[in-house]
Chains A and B, each alone.
Chain A
Amino acid sequence: MSAFVWLTILTALRILARNRLRAGLTMLGIVIGVGSVIAMVSIGEGAKRAVQAQIATMGTNVIVIFPGVTSASGVRGSQGSAMTLTVSDALDLKKRIPLLADTAWAKRDVMQIVYGNRNWNGTINGVSPSYLTIRDWAFTSGGPFTQTDLDSAARVALIGQTVVENLFEPGEEPVGAVIRIKNVPFRVIGVLVPKGQSAQGADQDDVVFIPFSTAERKVFGTSFIGSVGAMFGSTDQVEDLPMAAEQIREVLRARHRLQAEQNDDFTIRTQVDIGKVQEGASETLTMMLFAVASVSLLVGGIGIMNILLVSVTERTREIGVRMAVGAKRRHILMQFLIEAITLSLVGGVLGIILGISGTKLTTLIAGWPTIISGNVIGVAFLFSLVVGLFFGLYPANKASRLNPIEALRYE
Chain B
Amino acid sequence: MGSLIECEDVWKIYRVGDVEVQALRGLSLTIAQGEFVAIMGSSGSGKSTLMNILGCLDQPTKGRYRLNGIEVDNLKPDRLAGIRNQQIGFVFQSFNLIPRTSALENAQLPLFYRGLSLKEQRAQAEAALRRVGLQGREQHYPTQLSGGQQQRVAIARALVTSPSLLLADEPTGNLDTQSSREIMKILETLNRDEGITIILVTHEMDVAASAAREIVIKDGQVLSDRVTKAKPTSSTVGV
- A residues sitting closer than 8 Å to B (CB atoms) are 1, 3-4, 6-7, 11, 14, 18, 317-318, 320-331, 404-405, 408
Contact = CB atoms under 8 A, between A and B. Distances in A.
Contact of B118 (A3, A320, A322): A3
B58 interface: yes
Given A326-B113, A327-B113, A328-B113, A408 B118 contact: no
A408 B92 contact: yes
Interface string B72-103: 00000110011011100010100011111100
B78 A328 contact: yes
Contacts, number: 69
8 smallest CB-CB distances across A and B, nearest first, come from: A326-B85, A325-B110, A326-B113, A328-B81, A328-B78, A321-B96, A3-B118, A404-B57
A321 B153 CA distance: 14
A401 to B, nearest CB: 9
Nearest to A11: B101
Interface residues of B, number: 31
Contact of A326 (B52, B98, B114, B121): B114
Interface in B157-204: 157, 161
B116 interface: yes
B57 A405 contact: yes
A326 B82 contact: yes
A324 B84 contact: yes
Given A318-B98, A324-B57, A328-B78, A3 B116 contact: yes
Nearest to B157: A325
Contacts of B78: 328-330
Interface of B: 52, 55, 57-58, 77-78, 81-82, 84-86, 90, 92, 96-101, 109-110, 112-118, 121, 157, 161
A405 B82 CA distance: 16
Contacts of B116: 3
17 contacts: A4-B113, A4-B115, A6-B118, A18-B100, A317-B96, A318-B98, A321-B97, A321-B109, A322-B98, A322-B113, A325-B110, A326-B84, A326-B113, A329-B78, A330-B78, A405-B57, A408-B57
Contacts of B113: 4, 322, 325-328, 331
